[in-house]
Structure 1
Amino acid sequence: MMINSENTPLIHRSDYQPLAYRITEIALDVHLDPENTEVSARLHFLRQNPEPVKEIHLDGEGLELLEIRRDGQLLSENSYVVNGAGLTLLNPEADFVLETRVRIHPAANSALSGLYHAGGQFLTQCEAEGFRRITYYQDRPDCLAKFTVTLHGPKDTCPVLLANGNCVAQGEDAQGFHWARWEDPYPKPAYLFAMVGGDLAAMRDTFTTQSGRQVALEIYVAERDLGACSQAMESLKRAMRWDEEVYGREYDLDRYMIVATDSFNMGAMENKGLNIFNSKYVLASPETATDTDYQGIESVIAHEYFHNWTGNRVTLRDWFQLSLKEGLTVFRDQEFSADMNSRGVQRIGDVRRLRAAQFPEDAGPLAHPVRPDAYSEINNFYTATVYEKGAELVRMLHTLLGKEGFRRGTDLYFERHDGHAVTIEDFVEALEDANHTDLSRFRTWYAQAGTPLVKAQGVYDPKAHTYTLTLSQSTPATPGQAHKEPVPIPVRMALINTQGEKTALDSRGDREKVLVLEEATQTWTFTEQPDPVIPSLLRGFSAPVRLENPLDDQSRSFLACVDDDPFNRWESTQELALQALLAGTQNPGTVQHFPDALERALAATLQDGAMDPAFRAELLSLPSEDYVGEQMAVIAVDAIHQARDALLSQIGHHFHDTWLNLYHDLAGAYARDGLSIGRRRLRNMALSYLVYSDRHREDDMTLHARQQYVQADNMTDRLAAFQLLVQHPLHDAEDILMDFYQKWQDYPLVIDKWFAIQAMAPRADALRHVQHLLVHSAFDWKVPNRVRAVLGAFTVNHTVFHAADGSGYAFFAEQIRRLDDINPQTAARLATPLSRWQRYDEVRQKAMIQALQLLAAKPHLSRDLAEVIQRAYPSGA
């Protein structure tokens, strides 16, 4: 396959070299203008070693150099070289000051990397390599400098001027301009730099740290959104307190600022003291945000705050260490959310996300280790492997060391490396030294791609009263890694007897153990087991592996009713449902027998009114179409969809009266506490099963949904009904669609949902409908949230995206071609579903390859998208 892109060389981790020069200080003077912004930079360079060097390269992209001086003197043209990659200084002194003045064009920056102007605001995104689009610099994470920034802007359109750190001075220029100077006392890499200019209002609060300092908290949003910031502010204060109590980490600046925008490629960015957020993770009110939105805000606010120590105060040596900050911080935000909410429900959600995104990534052509060995475009490695699997690796370390041991290790890590740019080895070594243990074999997890398969085999000996458990592990080959080494796998386990009780596993009476599977195969024998037992393995999902545990349906159903581990009780129910769904794919379109074991498990949950309603909802949910497909050698798109619809209908019919009673019994006034959130979720699940009870005709259940849509006093209930009506194959929802749009057209985040629900509707005319969405007056190619709401949602509309005639792939490839010219990062991330072409039948494989070829032939293909295509189909055609 010929790819129309510049031949970008791979960057290898093994080629890392320390900086010859460090920049001790940088002072920026920025005159903000949407069309032509001028940036003056003053950099103090200091050579790191006595040997002179011939040149220093500074990164720079899309910069117009206006002036350059060294130690105050204009440089002659033979003293430097400027090209599309940056600026090279020739024969530099050991200690000097470089001054440059450049011009950039924020309004034309649709890639949203560097400084850009969108929605009337000046914003920055410098991770991973955006600072080079602002000024010439050593744009790498191990270049730490103290920043002073002076921003100039018109008072009418930019009354607010923000940057990292503390505001130390401000004043007015001539002709309606003003300025503000910010100093950050802590050295930081350029990827953590941020500045904002715009007409913004602020919600203000304070937080008193454990040492008694008062920190000013400020959330900047558009004036009309000021009343929708309470969840973000309360989440921030809870996160600050939690980090003090659990990790001993106190905030270090005088103020903590958050700015919300609709125009952002990511969820949020942890710039030191000035976080820039996608508004999706800041704005919420009961009328406009669902319970899931509220929980997402709490999680992401916490995540970015926790980066203050795990990423900012201790940062990365190079981008290969990305999971050092992201995996560790995801683990921290997961634990925070577990402490704030239901730990069992949180863990199930963590695993569901891991299996939905990371397991397929690990099994496909884009597989890579948590710490990759090479990359062409670092933006393509902000992946589920780095984030979600990286968090699971930290969780395993927490399990192996215990809560207190892990805290000792992180304390030593912060003490040793505060203010430094470090590696994953530095983190692991701190854990080792603090606990006097050897984690050398654990490092293999960071270097090895692929999801290990753990097979379990248990034998009960009624004469000897023993239970013998044998575990084995293997990891399939992945691109570039044919041979895999065994890795240490912590398997948390218990044995459950016929009375549903956990038995003693040793002479101390422990009823739960963590077995560490380090070799290819290991065996453990548990004595004094007078009755037959069933193993409850991988409790709490103690390792990111696939588990084959050959239990029969009766045993699984038993565990689904009595296991006291929330994750394993859910997992047992999911396995029963999965087997029913896989059986249904064998004869699509025919009515399958409702398995007795699954019926018993669901009935037990439905009858347990004392159970946490959020957990009940988890137990009553079915595996997704994606998850079912991942269990098949060849993903049978249509058969999976039909089987899942059929099982939903069966469950709806079988428990119809119970669902109806639940739906009415769980009604109540809106409240934001955990119990109320769980009740809403369970009630909306009941409505969903009722509507699915007969998808082949319209009945009273769709009337229930319409009534709920009209009468709902919150977005959670209204959106649940709206989605059921819009995605019903026979229901005419045009009036509902129009009503929803007219009510919420001035709320971008709500209209994103309006777009996404339509793009996901598996209707006969879905492709034509999505084409119409792309020309809707509210659609904007330059707003990533809106693009993801349509194209991202379209890729999970499986029967349409994966249509056998290839129409979904062809349409999608055309849209990615267009998007690549506007926002390469978003285009590359959206294109990844095409990389899974090998998992489908020959007809779909051919159509997906044609779509990849269409993208590869695009003139001026971006580096981001080119790398995804090359890795997706490396052999060509």
Structure 2
Amino acid sequence: MEDATRTETPPTTRLVDYRPSAYLIDTVFLDLRLAPRETIVRSRLEMRPNPAVPASGASLTLDGEALTLRSLHLDGAALDAHAYTVTGEHLTLHQAPVRPFVLEIETSCDPEANTELSGLYRSNGIYCTQCEAEGFRRITYYLDRPDVLAVFTTRIEGARDETPILLGNGNPKESGRAANGHHFAIWHDPFPKPCYLFAMVAGDLACVDDRFTTASGRDVALRIYVEPGKEDRCGWAMDSLKRSMRWDEEAFGREYDLDIFMIVAVSDFNMGAMENKGLNVFNDKYVLARPDTATDADYANIESIIAHEYFHNWTGNRITCRDWFQLCLKEGLTVFRDQEFTTDIRSGTVKRIADVRLLRTQQFPEDAGPLAHPVRPEKYIEINNFYTATVYEKGAELVRMMRSLIGRRAFRAAMDLYFERHDGEAATIEQFLRCMEDASGRELGSFLRWYNQAGTPLVTVTTAYDAPSQTLELRAEQTTPPTPGQPSKAPLIIPIAFALVGSKGDLPVTNADGTPAPEILELTQASQVWRLHEVTERPVLSINRGFSAPIRLNASLSDADRLFLMGHDSDAFNRWEAGQIYAKALLVKLTRALVEGRRLWEDPAYSEALRSSLLDDRLSPALRAELLTLPTEGDLASEIGTSIEPDAIHLARRHLSAYIGRSLRDELRQAYHRHAVPGPYSPDPASAGNRALRACALTLLAAADAASGAQLAWAQFAAAENMTETFSALATLARLDRPERDAALEQFYERAKSDPLLVDKWLALQAVGPFPSTLDRVRTLMGHPEFSLKKPNKVRALIGSFAALNPVAFNDRSGRGYVLLADLLLALDPVNPQVAARLAGNFKSWRMLEPNRQALARRQIERVRAGDSLSRDLVEIVGTILA
């Protein structure tokens, strides 16, 4: 059969070409007879012409890939072979009825051979499905598009000894014995859904049970399925699920709607998790946690991702997206919701810092490079490539800005209206915005530009203070740089939260008429001026508080102003932001000095500001850890922008880290010992914050003195009673060229080798060492028995960590890092195109490098593009990177 996933000239799908489906599917009955090499799927589709589309009696084309058609019936009658055509991508009926009809299709597929992990696949003895975005077509022929919603009933049959557990969407309806030692289960989902939300899991799985009572008194069964023997690692996930359910009732008025909610943890999965209706499938790294196997970061990720997938029940499932161009409508909105959940139960400031750091690390470079695209893209070749930081993280920021513009009360009313108006529908961004307008009474048409324009706006702010009149003039100008396909940009509406900070705190300021000045300035034009009155002293401007808009900011603040805000800003986020901006400016200067061969210097004023923060017990330990954490090497590369020298950036950051460690040695040692957490491990925010500050202190002490730092880290590793302490010690040692590093990694592997998730940690730690030898180490590990191209978690742990988190080794002057990634991509693409394409994104910033590295990187990207029979996924990414 023709392999439709690979083509030399893949077609482009465009938003402007969207048309409703000419046919609808009302009900689906699926019968799956599971077998490793030949699963038989019988589908019964009750279809009808779409009344919104003029009837033509034309052909009907269904999507299908990697399928063998066994039979085809229309209204009970077998169709003659001349009545239809089958290709590698489609099944086409030449003449479809113009009345309701029933289409019955029997196909077979090979789950064992499906290494792409899209559609129905079998891995580690578990049958699993992943249908988002277009995987259902690998199970049966169908109208595989999100605006076709149907009620599904699924019968699953398998060998009882191999698949004792049979799970599907919705509520269980019936189960029993079948022939030949098989058994079956029937599941019914009463809520119409697109086929990308279909799910089925079957295998030998253990179950952890719990219950939840909704606000209206309904009793819901909760079940988490894992590999046998891992039941004791599900408690945190179950607790996170129950807290998510309660929070969604209280914050958004959303109750769960089925009798049962299930989570299945599988080890081989392309994504983090999937929100299939009533049957969420998770990568097991985001479910399994125990103090000796999971870090504080793992616990926080599990909590967040469990919440995210659960919240999709309403923002994604009950209301889905009309087409894949509207992907941010479910993903950006749901990311916003899971961020708010975490904000409410943990430190809001620390959460905001984490979200902004992620945005700047992943999305800002995306916006600044060849992969830039709008939050709502205009076209794609492979939709899997648009599950990006722009759609998710920037999409969430857009929702946050809308809430700022219309206010919290109106926003909640708008969300209620959205759920009421579009429940059971496939919606668009315009419909979502209309709910915001109707609930608030405010016109938001111009806000659509945020969804349609790529790029990160640069906002330049200047101030002029006049002491005699006690007025301050604030001028803001916005520009958005050109991005591929969008050379010119229109002004955006940008909500900018601000305050004027004086010697005794925030200054009350007024408009010309004496009314209080707003806390948020709305920049709607290319340039605007505001005049603020009754400003009783020269203030320091605290601007874009809480990161109220996803912008790059150029504010007219001196180094002294930044240091002042680090110690006095009442907005804790901007206190951190002031330190980051100061540190970035300093590190950029140090980097340039290294490139130019000049001597480096130290900055006592900065270290004193950090000392004050470290000793300020009014600040939480978690926030103090953030204040002491320097910008990443990636942050600095983005800040510099052109002719990047990764070695110089690395040395500059190492120099400043060492200086801070030396300057604050006594305070850091005191903090390290003072913030040890006694007693049994708990992932609560306070305990996690103490461990975070302790880990930060260890990192800085090791930067100042590698020998003593390694000894301290080794002692912590030897005495650690939980994985957070173990991993923070290993993470410190992994970046030190000391004998303790290899000894600790060897000991850790001996403990970890029976646990795949711990092996992932072991692989990742070895990939981030900033040494020339790391390249050879990664090459060697690619041949280790623990590594496999068929295991996405292993590939991401080793190669993803090396390419994304080790810029100095990946960008080795020899170009060998680029060769390694290119070799991996060419080997991985035939096995798993989705993972290959995502890893290829690590080449996205190649044009920002200095000329020699540019040439070396380009050569390898072109080598990948010239590869034989590349997937659509990889063709699109490397083609865009090189365009």
Q: The TM-score by the shorter chain falls in which range?
A: over 0.9
8 Å Cα contact 1:725-1:731 kept in structure 2: no
Which residue is equivalent to 1:626? 634
Q: Distance in 2 between matches of 1:340 and 1:799?
A: 37
Q: Deviation per CA, 1:503-536, whole angstroms, max 9, x where unpaired?
A: 3345777576110000001111111112111111
Letter matched to residue 705 of structure 2: D
- Determine whether 1:191 maps to 2:196: yes
Task: Map 1:481-560 to 2 at 5 A.
Answer: 481-506=486-511, 510=516, 513-560=519-566
CA shift, 1:687, in A, is 1.0
Q: Deviation per CA, 1:241-285, whole angstroms, max 9, x where unpaired?
A: 111111111110000000001100000000000000011110111
Which residue is equivalent to 2:797? 789
Q: Distance in 2 between matches of 1:206 and 1:525?
A: 57
What secondary structure, in the 3-state scheme, does the structure 1 residue paired with 2:660 have? helix
- Determine whether 1:571 maps to 2:577: yes
* Cα gap change, 1:512 to 1:622, in 2 (>3 Å): farther
CA shift, 1:782, in A, is 0.7
CA shift, 1:797, in A, is 1.2
8 Å Cα contact 1:364-1:835 kept in structure 2: yes
Q: Distance in 2 between matches of 1:584 and 1:171?
A: 71
Q: Deviation per CA, 1:410-445, whole angstroms, max 9, x where unpaired?
A: 111111110001100000001101111100110111
**Could you tell me which of 692, 714, 735 is aligned with 1:727?**
735
Which residue is equivalent to 2:250? 245
Task: Map 1:334-733 to 2 at 5 A.
Answer: 334-506=339-511, 510=516, 513-588=519-594, 592-632=600-640, 633-669=642-678, 670-695=681-706, 698=707, 700-733=708-741
Greater CA deviation, 211-220 or 508-517? 508-517
Q: Deviation per CA, 1:225-249, whole angstroms, max 9, x where unpaired?
A: 1001111111111111111111111
Q: Distance in 1 between matches of 2:723 and 2:168?
A: 35
**Could you tell me which of 742, 745, 769 is aligned with 2:750?**
742
CA shift, 1:590, in A, is 6.6
Q: Distance in 2 between matches of 1:838 and 1:358?
A: 17
Letter matched to residue 876 of structure 2: E
* Cα gap change, 1:509 to 1:729, in 2 (>3 Å): farther
8 Å Cα contact 1:263-1:783 kept in structure 2: yes
The alignment covers a number of residue pairs equal to 869
What secondary structure, in the 3-state scheme, does the structure 1 residue paired with 2:546 have? coil
Higher RCO, 1 vs 2 (CA within 8 Å, ≥6 residues apart): 1
**Could you tell me which of 814, 820, 831 is aligned with 1:822?**
831
What secondary structure, in the 3-state scheme, does the structure 1 residue paired with 2:191 have? coil
The gaps in structure 2 that reach 5 residues or longer are: none
Letter matched to residue 164 of structure 1: N
Q: Distance in 1 between matches of 2:66 and 2:162?
A: 25
What secondary structure, in the 3-state scheme, does the structure 2 residue paired with 1:718 have? helix
| TM-score, with structure 1 as normaliser | 0.98
CA shift, 1:732, in A, is 4.4
8 Å Cα contact 2:370-2:880 kept in structure 1: yes
CA shift, 1:5, in A, is 4.1
- Determine whether 1:59 maps to 2:63: yes
**Could you tell me which of 86, 93, 97 is aligned with 1:82?**
86
Which residue is equivalent to 1:91? 95
CA shift, 1:833, in A, is 1.6
What secondary structure, in the 3-state scheme, does the structure 1 residue paired with 2:179 have? coil
Q: Deviation per CA, 1:112-169, whole angstroms, max 9, x where unpaired?
A: 0000000110000000000000000000000100101000011111100000001100
**Could you tell me which of 42, 45, 58 is aligned with 1:43?**
45
Task: Map 1:272-283 to 2 at 5 A.
Answer: 272-283=277-288
Greater CA deviation, 806-815 or 662-671? 662-671
CA shift, 1:673, in A, is 2.1
Q: Distance in 2 between matches of 1:4 and 1:199?
A: 34
Identity over the aligned pairs, expressed in percent?
49
Q: Distance in 2 between matches of 1:870 and 1:652?
A: 44
8 Å Cα contact 2:41-2:140 kept in structure 1: yes
Q: Deviation per CA, 1:470-500, whole angstroms, max 9, x where unpaired?
A: 0110000000001100000000010111233
- Determine whether 1:284 maps to 2:289: yes
Greater CA deviation, 744-753 or 328-337? 744-753
CA shift, 1:53, in A, is 2.5
What secondary structure, in the 3-state scheme, does the structure 2 residue paired with 1:532 have? coil
Which residue is equivalent to 1:211? 216
Q: Distance in 2 between matches of 1:649 and 1:126?
A: 49
- Determine whether 1:771 maps to 2:774: no
CA shift, 1:746, in A, is 1.5
8 Å Cα contact 1:591-1:646 kept in structure 2: no
CA shift, 1:734, in A, is 2.5
Q: Distance in 2 between matches of 1:294 and 1:830?
A: 25
CA shift, 1:4, in A, is 9.2
Q: Distance in 2 between matches of 1:422 and 1:127?
A: 17
Greater CA deviation, 507-516 or 534-543? 507-516
CA shift, 1:725, in A, is 1.5
Letter matched to residue 709 of structure 2: M
CA shift, 1:548, in A, is 0.2
Greater CA deviation, 112-121 or 796-805? 796-805
Task: Map 1:172-183 to 2 at 5 A.
Answer: 172-183=177-188
Which residue is equivalent to 2:766? 758
8 Å Cα contact 1:263-1:784 kept in structure 2: yes
8 Å Cα contact 2:710-2:740 kept in structure 1: no
What secondary structure, in the 3-state scheme, does the structure 1 residue paired with 2:545 have? coil
CA shift, 1:351, in A, is 0.3
8 Å Cα contact 1:557-1:600 kept in structure 2: no
8 Å Cα contact 1:4-1:857 kept in structure 2: no
8 Å Cα contact 1:172-1:178 kept in structure 2: yes
Q: Distance in 1 between matches of 2:412 and 2:741?
A: 54
- Determine whether 1:112 maps to 2:113: no
Letter matched to residue 775 of structure 2: L
Which residue is equivalent to 2:24? 22
Greater CA deviation, 589-598 or 644-653? 589-598
8 Å Cα contact 1:503-1:529 kept in structure 2: yes
Q: Distance in 2 between matches of 1:319 and 1:195?
A: 22
What secondary structure, in the 3-state scheme, does the structure 2 residue paired with 1:822 have? coil
Task: Map 1:854-865 to 2 at 5 A.
Answer: 854-865=863-874
Q: Distance in 1 between matches of 2:524 and 2:115?
A: 49
Q: Deviation per CA, 1:372-419, whole angstroms, max 9, x where unpaired?
A: 111110000001000000000000001111111101111111111100
Letter matched to residue 684 of structure 1: A
Letter matched to residue 844 of structure 1: R
| TM-score, with structure 2 as normaliser | 0.97
Letter matched to residue 748 of structure 2: F
Q: Distance in 1 between matches of 2:242 and 2:441?
A: 35
8 Å Cα contact 2:222-2:262 kept in structure 1: yes
Provide the aligned C-alpha RMSD in A: 1.4
Q: Distance in 2 between matches of 1:852 and 1:613?
A: 44
* Cα gap change, 1:383 to 1:393, in 2 (>3 Å): same
Which residue is equivalent to 1:73? 77
8 Å Cα contact 1:460-1:466 kept in structure 2: yes
